[in-house]
A and B are shown apart, each in its own frame.
Chain A
Amino acid sequence: MADLFKILTLREKKAVVEKGGGDAAIEKQVAMGKLPARERILSLLDKNSFHEYDMFVKHDGRDFGMDKKDFPGDGVVTGTGTIFGAPVCIYAQDFTVAGGSLGLQHARKITKIMDHALKMKCPIIGINDSGGARIQEGVSALAGYGEIFYRNTIASGVIPQISLILGPCAGGAVYSPALTDFVFVVENISKMFITGPNVIKTVLGEDISMEDLGGARVHAEITGNAHFYAVSEKECFEQVKRLVQFIPWNNSERAKKIKSKEPKTKLNIEDIVPSDPKQPYDVRDVIKCIVDDSDFLEIQELWAANIVIGFGRMAGETVGFVANQPMVLAGVLDCDSADKAARFIRFCDAFNIPIITLEDMPGYLPGVDQEHAGVIRHGAKVLYAYSEATVSKITVILRKAYGGGYIAMNSRHLGADFMFAWPSAEIAVMGPEGAANIIFRKEIMEAEDEDKMRQEKVKEYIEKFANPYVAASKGFIDSVIEPKETRSLILHALQLSVLKEENRPEKKHGIPPF
């Protein structure tokens, strides 16, 4: 029965590796609200679908007594599985083993599964929970990071890349998630920064906690490094699974089609947008009136909330939404919202997801801080992303479309395939007050009652220009539509553009203003 003996030996060896850093370390991990690495993977994948690779890989540290130490799996679990039937490659750093520190073999396990994902053309999911580079391995650890970043870049736009930050992710390690498409963070668990609070304190004397410097909330709300924010790991896993259902497996596929459902919201699309252009509303209510089942997956909900981005479905097929949000900062474009929209547009274009733009914005945010923060450079990203995109591009102008913002928000001039405007649309070179002050400057200055004349001229301008018909008369808008026709006309546009083909001059790659 030599065979049985060998099988039992295998089982024993596997059991040792599966124990990771041992019971005490796992207990500590669980006490922090964190699951052990393998359990995290099992929570994400379909039942019984996980197949683990490279369990018996050994680290090759030789210095500082490392040769006498054994790290099960070298601190990272890698493998393949499925999520709702979609194949994925996955890895999870194991904090219980040497603090999840990254040595050369640890990195090689990761790069191997990344190469596999790129060859199999399926999404790659990385779970980050690591103290950082294994200092004892010196430059080999750095080599490991570099080889991961290189693959993140090569895979970019070919397969979807998803990062979960479920523990510390500091120093060089942060750049792998930063290069991926979607980053998930969890309250009190995720910590991301280049230099930690201790270094900042000693160097600059600035006192800040880890949470305030690079906690989940900070990355979801202030830095924009994170795309999804959850309060528990369980919620985070649900978010990941939901996202995976919306996106295709790779750039030569379309996202899986599901059964079409009518919007279920009780809201009436005609009642949401106030006719007074000064009144705010929640543009997500409009989206809910348009998408299948009123089901909208918002991305980067907390950061740059003056623009809304996310996925929904139309006739069962995934679409991306980009919408100005009048409820926040009056819906202006600024550095952050431009950055947010541009990256999302490029994701949609890379993965064959049509883009629907809902426009209601007063223009770019004025201010010294914006100008000095490079709003020109950031704003240009939106122009670049829309112009570059060859997927179906549909715009609905709900209300205000002024100035540079009108051009930027997927105008006809940047290659929109379908331009719709509601009767409430105001498409003009700038807001009526500003325009009247310039055009009728002389009349206003010479009038006996300047204010009265100004008001008259503003009114005159509104009547003449604050409508969709001037743009429509030049063919910049294809049709002025009733709000209640919006869903059916978008469906029509999508149906018509299924076979859309648009070619660009051959080039190695463009040079977007990032």
Chain B
Amino acid sequence: MAKKNEKNEEYVDFVVTARKYKTLLTKKYENRSKWHKPVPGEVLSNLPGTVMEIKVKEGAKVKAGQLLLIHEAMKMLNRIVAPVDGTVTAIHVKKGEQIKKDHLMLTIKPN
């Protein structure tokens, strides 16, 4: 039978280095998001906002630092630039589109 504390909360197995311990978990720990390796060439939004202008077309060759689009967020017309040299393989947003944080806006195939 699973061990419980006086509040009837169940202790679970929890591994720290090479040993298992019985313990409770925090909400924050349970809800933690798993790490994903960032893909070079994927341009994500770092704030929620609106796509104001798109300055490149699919298939365009771009240099790192080149302006890709204008993203309005926090009342600022942010210049989103290419993170790497490469070719724009897909544009995932439209002009005027409202997007959330971490939205995939554009994909570049790095050279």
Say which size band chain B's interface belongs to: 10 to 19
Q: Residue B37 at the A interface, CB < 8 A? A: yes
Q: Determine whether the beta carbon of A278 is less than 8 Å from that of B72.
A: yes
Number of A interface residues at 8 Å Cβ cutoff, please give it. Answer: 24
A331 vs B37: C-alpha distance when bound (angstroms): 27
CB contacts (< 8 Å) of A363 on chain B: these are: 74
Within 8 A of B (CB), among A243-284: 277-280
Q: A24: CB under 8 A from chain B?
A: no
> Nearest-CB distance from B106 to chain A (Å)?
18
In this assembly, does A449 line the interface, its C-beta being within 8 Å of a C-beta of chain B? no
Chain A residues lying within 8 Å of B75, measured Cβ to Cβ, are 277-278, 330, 362, 431, 433
User: CB of B77 within 8 A of chain A?
Assistant: yes
Mark out the residues of chain B between 1 and 43 whose CB falls within 8 Å of any chain A CB in the assembled complex. Answer: 15-17, 34-35, 37
Residues of A within 8 A of B48 (CB): 367
For B15, the closest partner residue in chain A by CB is A203
Chain B residues positioned under 8 Å from A362 (CB to CB): 74-76
Q: Is B78 an interface residue (CB 8 A)?
A: yes
Secondary structure of the B contact surface, majority rule: loop
B90 in the interface (beta carbon within 8 A): no
Inter-chain contacts of B74 with A (CB < 8 A): 329-330, 332, 362-363, 365
The A157-212 residues at the B interface (CB cut-off 8 A) are 195, 199, 202-203, 206, 208, 212
Kindly provide the distance from the CB of B84 to the nearest chain A CB, expressed in whole angstroms. 14
A195: chain B residues within 8 A (beta carbon)? 17
Which residue on chain A has the smallest CB distance to residue B28? A372
Q: Which residue of A199, A206, A369, A431 is within 8 Å of B17 (Cβ)?
A: A199
B57-111 contacts to A (CB < 8 Å): 72-79, 101
User: Which of B16, B34, B47, B101 has a CB less than 8 Å from the CB of A330?
Assistant: B47
Does A320 have its Cβ within 8 Å of any Cβ on chain B? no
Known: A206-B34, A367-B101. A330 touches B17 (CB 8 A): no
Would you call B35 and A206 a contact (CB within 8 A)? Answer: yes
0/1 per residue, A402-443, Cβ < 8 Å to B? 000000000000000000000000000001010000000000
Interchain CB contact under 8 A, A278 and B76: yes
CB-nearest residue of chain A to B37 = A212
Q: Which residue of chain B has the shortest Cβ distance to A195 in the bound complex?
A: B17
Q: Verify A280–B17 contact, CB threshold 8 A.
A: no
CB-based nearest A residue for B79: A280
Could you give 13 example pairs across A and B, Cβ below 8 Å? A203-B16, A278-B77, A279-B77, A280-B78, A327-B78, A329-B74, A330-B74, A330-B75, A362-B74, A362-B75, A365-B47, A431-B75, A433-B75
- Residues of A that sit less than 8 Å from B by CB: 195, 199, 202-203, 206, 208, 212, 277-280, 326-327, 329-332, 362-363, 365, 367, 369, 431, 433
Further 19 A-B residue pairs, CB within 8 A, beyond A203-B16, A280-B76, A330-B75: A195-B17, A199-B17, A203-B15, A206-B35, A208-B35, A208-B37, A212-B37, A277-B75, A278-B77, A279-B76, A280-B78, A327-B79, A331-B76, A332-B74, A362-B76, A365-B74, A367-B48, A369-B101, A433-B75
